[in-house]
Amino acid sequence: MIGQLPLLLTCLILACLSLPQFVGDSNKEIGILCGIFCSFSFVSYLLNRFNHFRQLDRSFWSLDLLKRIRLNKIDLAVFLLFFSACLSTLTSYFFRESLSGLIKYAFYFFLYIGFCLLIRDRKIVFALLTASFIGLIWADLEGIKQVLFGAEQLATWEDPNIHASNQLSRIYSTFLNPNLCASYMLTLWPLSFIGFYFLGKSFLAKSVSQSESLKIRNSLIGLSLLILGLITVYLILQTGSRGAWIALFVQLGFIIAFILTFFKPSFALISSLALPLVGGAFYLISKPNFMNRILSIFSSYDHSSNSFRLHVWQACFRIIRDNPIFGIGPGSKVFYLIYGIYMDAGYSALGAYSVFIEIAAEMGFIGLLLLLFLIFSLASEGIKVLSSFKSQFQSYKLIFANPNLLIIAGVLISLAGLLVSSFFDIVILRPQVQIALWLLIAVLRFYSLEKEKKD
């Protein structure tokens, strides 16, 4: 029974991530659940290993245990990044405050290990993704409600110099922050394309033994997932998060590249891709509030939000200049104490509003280089897995009949969107996004190890 507890608890966490009870400043409930999950994952893994060696009549602490632990480039990159956080803590001027930040990094590090220990086969991957979709549904339902009936503006998210009639009414679902809401949705919506697998199973199945009821069920699941993805994209636009809009544009570009890579380019295919994008672009242009929001991306200091970020970045560059090797130490507490010395008057902040600048300030250039190494590892392993899939499939029908290619493509597209959005904000460091992020990385690692095993 204890072997099933980590999976059940993980599904519960993923399905509840977007509920209002788990969204707030403290996020203690999520931390407690994730801590229990990690504990159960380690205990379950150790019991499985113990039973395995007992059946083989070998010592549990034999060298065979180390041989069976499979590590790859992604594991190395994650470990080195965490080690950099430890070094930054030891060299920080504010050791006590930095230690609390290190604990958060350790929490996510062990969460990643827990996911890696949990994901042992593809059925578990499906179960975890299904639970994630349930969490996305909660967020979408609240987002639709706010679109239809309006959302109370909890903060000044738009430039006060812009007339109220031209301002975009930004939704935030249950997250109380439009940027956090958009980042969470960016993480999960590309995986909704798994719906094509269920549609392919229904309409492209050659087996006559498949019952009509099963075909109808698969069709409903596939259509539901695709509709969920479309609704989520619409809600991302309604959040007014400009960083998320840029990330969404990049994700759509990756989707087009993926389709053209695995399908024969044809006029019908290109038209089916281009028409919705062109129609969506004209729709946004026709709305003054959307258009003003888009143009504000290029307005530099003329827009209050842009001006604020630019002043914060300039102060952070001065922090990095004075602490280039190991940084100031991890955590928002250390950043707040140090930033007060370097900030421009009237531009106080609790973060750098860019993950790359934040990591460079907290861990120095060593941490930044290791972060880039992690990104490179994820990209290289993902491309290898996709390349192996491409060599296996000779027909688009087989692509739709197999979910694994769609899963790994969705994971890579999600990670690409988060990477782009992290240039302009640090909401990716919030627990709701971090948990989903480390799940995606663990899924990518699982498929990468599967490929290595086959080779």
Buried b / exposed e along 415-440 (16+ C-beta atoms within 10 A) = bbbbbbbbebbbbbbbbbbbbbbbbb
Using CA atoms, how far apart are residues 275 and 295, in angstroms rounded to an integer?
23
HEC per residue, 119-159: CCCHHHHHHHHHHHHHHHHHHHHHHHHHHHHCCCCCCCCCC
Q: What per-residue confidence (pLDDT) applies to 358? A: 94
Q: How far is CA 75 from CA 114, 179, 452, in A?
A: 13, 29, 14
Domain enclosing residue 180, as ranges: 5-454
> What residues in the chain have per-residue pLDDT under 50?
1, 53, 56-57, 59-68, 163, 165, 208
Place of tokens 């549904």: 137
Using CA atoms, how far apart are residues 218 and 312, in angstroms rounded to an integer?
50
Alpha-carbon torsion (309, 315, 321, 327), positive or negative: negative
Q: What per-residue confidence (pLDDT) applies to 421? A: 93
pLDDT one-digit tens code per residue, 124-145: 899 999 999 999 999 999 999 9
Q: What per-residue confidence (pLDDT) applies to 328? A: 92
Q: What per-residue confidence (pLDDT) applies to 204? A: 63
- Check if the beta carbon of residue 136 is closer than 8 Å to that of residue 228: yes
CA 44 to chain CA centroid, nearest Å: 26
Using CA atoms, how far apart are residues 103 and 33, in angstroms rounded to an integer?
16
pLDDT one-digit tens code per residue, 201-217: 777 655 545 577 777 88
Q: What per-residue confidence (pLDDT) applies to 20? A: 80
Q: Of the candidates 436, 323, 431, which has an alpha carbon nearest to the alpha carbon of residue 23? A: 431
Count of domains observed in the chain: 1
- Provide the token pair at 314: 């300039």
Q: What per-residue confidence (pLDDT) applies to 48? A: 62
Q: What angle do CA 378, 442, 413 make, to 5 degrees?
A: 50
Q: How far is CA 109 from CA 53, 78, 251, 286, 312, in A?
A: 27, 8, 27, 45, 28
Using CA atoms, how far apart are residues 451 and 388, in angstroms rounded to an integer?
8
